[in-house]
Structure 1
């Protein structure tokens, strides 16, 4: 069911919150052995929370915008009393003593957290194959990846394990897995959602956002967690729109949509290109004005992203040294040997690769040549988007250049894996909002996603345009067949 259907059913007493929670948890326990989307399931705690919601309903009390709705949370978002591992050996037994601000807001909204989902270790990856614990599989084809790093969160939506999940997006880690799994995924404007309690990968890029089956559910999911937070100095310091559902069904005639020609050059899968271009035609038929233009920062932004994100990762992950908390090597000779062995044994190959790259570009003699130039190019990226949004309401293109690929297909070629983020990383560098919406399927029935990019704090307009194309395409109710033959 959608979030709205669950809310309506609870209000009309068609079922209880406990019945809803138990039905989703039972489905996870029965079928997640196939997809491996979850690292932790919180059955007892979820049913207790559902009982509280039912008691409030019986008394006629308000239950919040997500009251009684089962929710999954990516395992790099801190949850008090629940393991938060970042899918890493170095944090395999870490239980936070506090909640992330986003989690506090979810609890205030009445959400029932049923579990924590798998990810690429420390959110570094595009396939959810870099997890220390398990490889998550795409419910549309169990031999393929669900995307990453929020692959577990996206797979939990595609598999019908929850109606709402939350991931984090550093360079496309919500939108790309949403596209791979046929879901709707939003990367909010930087600062709209507090990062307090989100275990950092790259602090100037990370942002928490919702993944859902429908655009309306995505809008509800964002409204529940956004807002100013005194614990996060980068959170927005002004009142922001919260009601995203009013006028979401309005007319989109007259909207100006820019389509960068660089989005449709070499490297884009032909089936994705065809599907996105068909969606563009549909937008035109609905009255939107479509215009092709040049956005040359597209490919070169990828290099700037991996320099900046790796540099920040190198700094953020320096805290995992075996001294204060987390995994510690059992045998060592002195403090330096302890740190070296702990980090060598505790981190996976992809995390080590990015720490090494980040340390290199920050080191004496290379800072000016790499990191400083990347930061200068970041300003150019922001300026390019600013110029585009003076003319267009949105920018439209594919979410990913490739279809969901086979598990193991790209693990030995990091550069090829990184190219899967070519359409998404620049949005993070600029701090802009973007939403990925399903726009079709390949001949082999693999989902295809398209991306709408908006100006700062234009989420309401993004949801309106995304809802219009979603209703026109009418593909949101199609479901994967992974449970056949169970």
Structure 2
């Protein structure tokens, strides 16, 4: 089970000298070569093995010697950054993205890249004309989600010890839920976006909200570790014991009803948390209409792309006032509540060609994204993975991470798929 251990555990063994980075990296490449899910689509073996040998002979940061992969939307010096677009397939990056620099400064070894949906333009699938389709390691007939589907699938299948992805419309959280791993959308602005762009000249500064980049992992502790070396420190966790958390909960809504399996797993999860002493209050925050919020988030995404293309949209001032009003409502809510729990997505991973209720996948995602709140998708169980979304107060990412970490003792945390 070495390849399903957490990055935190592996880093500790590497520091103690009970594990060799070189041997681990060699074995990881062998595992990647044998995989049939098409999650890790490009590697740099000579660089990685040389870095691993050096790691065995030295000491370093908190991720020293840990092999990992990264979404093929971040620039990695010496590797193509394709975004799944054939026109970019031979465009080699000259400089690392800020996230890559910081991970490597912490000692991580970026051994390769994980697959993405074409131009990151789909939250439900991961396929493109450069590398093809990534499948879900739980069931190859099903999607791993998108656009960070390669990242989530690689972690679930034991092909990487840590990942970094991006989340505009759920592209971290939806794949994490479908593949049964942890994924964090940080508070926007927490992690720098430099080097996260298609190949070409640096983009002109544009409106970054609501896009964010963040880690995926097999434990919430790994999310914290990755965020600590790549992002700006936020507020410490409000609570350190599970029983001290005050939790709001909404597990279903007539505007986007969850499937029976998702509803059963999440209901059982909340019941188990309540038995563990978590104080639970049901219902949406006062002043928050989830349908209005989902529609407003759709406008924000459209506005984001318009800004990228140099276009203007009508109604932006009114939309910003609405977002500020909803943000204030959430701020008032979090004065008395520590985290808010809801589904990550309304269903489990669906068959590749199934478009039924496709756009509904972002309804639950929008509830954290519009007000700019940090959100963790945590595995909650199920025959196919079900994601529980843990939403925290703005700039209190560690509160959401800590709740997800402590909840794993009750809910079970990451479970690898059968091989």
SS of the residue 1:436 aligns to? strand
Alpha-carbon deviation of 1:114?
Answer: 1.1
| Structure 1: segments with no counterpart, 5+ residues | 57-61, 228-238, 319-358
- 1:264–1:273 CA contact under 8 A, matched in 2: no
> Kindly tell me: are residues 182 and 262 of structure 1, through their superposed partners in 2, closer, same or farther at Cα, counting changes over 3 Å?
closer
- 2:251–2:267 CA contact under 8 A, matched in 1: no
Matched residue, 1:148: 146
Matched residue, 1:6: 10
Is 2:414 the partner of 1:480? no
Deviation per residue, 1:11-42 (Å, 9 max, x gap): 333331111111111101111xx211123111
Matched residue, 1:93: 90
Is 2:351 the partner of 1:406? yes
- For 2:127 and 2:321, locate their aligned partners in 1 and report how far apart those are by CA, in whole Å: 31
| Structure 2: segments with no counterpart, 5+ residues | 199-205
Alpha-carbon deviation of 1:241?
Answer: 5.8
Structure-2-length-normalised TM-score: 0.90
Alpha-carbon deviation of 1:196?
Answer: 1.3
Is 2:117 the partner of 1:120? yes
Matched residue, 2:101: 104
- For 1:102 and 1:470, locate their aligned partners in 2 and report how far apart those are by CA, in whole Å: 27
- For 2:54 and 2:234, locate their aligned partners in 1 and report how far apart those are by CA, in whole Å: 30
CA RMSD of aligned residues (A): 2.3
SS of the residue 2:68 aligns to? strand
Matched residue, 1:232: none
SS of the residue 1:205 aligns to? coil
- 1:39–1:116 CA contact under 8 A, matched in 2: yes
Specify which of 191, 196, 220 is matched with residue 198 of structure 1.
196
Structure-1-length-normalised TM-score: 0.78
Is 2:282 the partner of 1:292? yes
Deviation per residue, 1:352-395 (Å, 9 max, x gap): xxxxxxx6xx46xxx13xx4443333223312312221221111
> Kindly tell me: are residues 69 and 202 of structure 1, through their superposed partners in 2, closer, same or farther at Cα, counting changes over 3 Å?
farther
- For 1:44 and 1:75, locate their aligned partners in 2 and report how far apart those are by CA, in whole Å: 19
Alpha-carbon deviation of 1:267?
Answer: 2.2
Alpha-carbon deviation of 1:282?
Answer: 1.7
* Larger Rg over CA atoms: 1
- 1:183–1:213 CA contact under 8 A, matched in 2: yes
- 1:202–1:310 CA contact under 8 A, matched in 2: no
Deviation per residue, 1:405-441 (Å, 9 max, x gap): 100112xx7xx32210111123222221111111111
- For 2:268 and 2:12, locate their aligned partners in 1 and report how far apart those are by CA, in whole Å: 35
- For 2:49 and 2:253, locate their aligned partners in 1 and report how far apart those are by CA, in whole Å: 46
Alpha-carbon deviation of 1:94?
Answer: 2.2
Specify which of 211, 216, 220 is matched with residue 221 of structure 2.
216
- 2:69–2:114 CA contact under 8 A, matched in 1: yes
Matched residue, 2:334: 389
SS of the residue 1:51 aligns to? helix
